[in-house]
Amino acid sequence: MRRLLRSTLLASIATAAFGLGAVQAADCPIKIGGIAPLSAPGTVVGGEAMRDAMLIAEADINDAGGVLGCPIKVVIGDSEGLPEKAAAIMEKLITQDGVVGVGGGYHSSVGVASKGVANDRKIPVVFAETWNDTITGDKQKFIFRIAPLSSWASATIWRHALTVPGIKKVAILTENTDYGIPAAEETTKGLKSGGVESVTFSVDIGTQDYAGIVERIKAEKPGMIITLATGEAGYNFAQQAADAGIGPMDIPFHVSQVSLESKAYWQNVPDGNMAFVQRIGVPENLFNEKAKKFSATYKAKTGKGAVESYAMEAYDSIAILAQAINEANSTDGEAIVAALEGITYDGTLGKIYFPYGTKKDPSADGKGDEWWHQWPDPALTVIQYQKEGQNSAEATIVYPDAYKTGDPIFVK
């Protein structure tokens, strides 16, 4: 009882000291939700990275004094990468756990399925890694995103593909999800604009056996393979392709983004040298001070040699919500949205802001609806593993020229 009274008294003193009367002692800790795939068929290594990052954000925020005089608690729900699970998890976070905002989110299908639940209940969400354009494209008031649009990310991949010498045909492996389908369509369109033919092969999320698909791809005799699939299944595809003689050391091969987790990649794809991987965010040599601090903490916590871009996004999604709550001086959803629309947050990914929303529609600048509550400046790069066992942080950045650290090696 004494401990409870002391905690209540300290929270009251902190609230009074900062002039923050919106949150009473009984509201401590302030809960912020996090969504991540921690079970199959979702991208477990990505989900675990996001979970670790969100918990580091919790610790950093609390070490800095918390929010509105209260500590925060990040409550993480496992989406399993499934739309039906995602909607239920969002509902639980809001109605049972009592979160005042939600960060995280890896799979686009999870974002598409869960955002309406949050919007209807007026709970702000800052999605970290959900790329599908429609997530912000229907202009829901309480939905924000710091990941790139799928159309932007796809453009980085197909534009890089067009730099492959003598490229004539590309084989695309995609998943039947809200990420994979539009990403394949955008990639196909982009390649065609450069005079390159493409053929797409679709699989269900979590597919493990690619033997039949690999043989069909092999028969097409492509000059490059692009993987637009999430999760550990992408490891299986890359290694099974390598076993069949069309892997990363045989032809130019763009592997899935989860391959940024170098240890897991090399364990699962021992024949994965020369693979290309897309990365969000600037290279480590250009990290700002917050990114350097987070990277060091993350590496110490996880034992990894590099920090993945989706971990940085997850960290920033929680931290920007915390800043918005402080600036709003309230945990009310409408007030948090107003703060987010006017926010300037110096995050691990850079300076994050949202130029379009209720005060300025994207159409005012001739932009499409997908720019609504969308951070416009994420850096997009392509790295290449050029040494077996290489750490992704040390891999050569081969595209675009603005971040390039070396030339690509195109195998034949």
Domain containing 347 — which CATH number?
Answer: 3.40.50.2300
**CA dist., res. 403 & res. 396, Å (int):** 10
Are 86 and 136 members of one domain?
yes
| Pairwise CA distance, residues 157 & 398, whole Å | 12
Domain check: are 295 and 363 in the same one? yes
Cα–Cα nearest to 235, from 203, 272, 198, 201: 272
235 with 317, same domain: the answer is: no
141 and 8 co-located in one domain: yes
SS3 347: strand
Taking only the tens of pLDDT, the chain with its 412 residues reads 333 333 443 344 333 333 333 444 348 999 999 999 999 999 999 999 999 999 999 999 999 999 999 999 999 999 999 999 999 999 999 999 999 999 999 999 999 999 999 999 999 999 999 999 999 999 999 999 999 999 999 999 999 999 999 999 999 999 999 999 999 999 999 999 999 999 999 999 889 999 999 999 999 999 999 999 888 889 999 999 999 999 999 999 999 999 999 999 999 999 999 999 999 988 888 899 999 999 999 999 999 999 999 999 999 999 999 999 999 999 999 999 999 999 999 999 999 999 999 999 999 999 999 999 999 999 999 999 999 999 999 999 999 999 999 999 999 7
Are 20 and 129 part of one and the same domain? yes
The CA–CA distances, whole Å, from 134 to 25, 112, 178, 203, 280 equal 39, 7, 9, 22, 20
**Are residue 95 and residue 198 in the same domain, yes or no?**
no
All residues at 6 or more sequence positions from 315 whose CB lies less than 8 Å from its CB, including other chains: 53, 54, 56, 57, 294, 347, 348
* 394 in the same domain as 351: no
On whether residue 412 sits in a domain, the answer given is no
Q: How far is CA 50 from CA 55, 77, 101, 115, 290, in A?
A: 9, 11, 16, 18, 17
Neighbours of 13 (CB within 10 A): 12
Q: Are residue 202 and residue 139 in the same domain, yes or no? A: no
Judge if 209 and 278 occupy the same domain: yes
Give the chain's domain count.
Answer: 2
- Domain span including residue 302: 2-149+290-371
Task: Kindly state whether residue 410 falls inside one of the protein's structural domains.
Answer: no
Q: Let me know whether 10 and 134 are in one domain.
A: yes
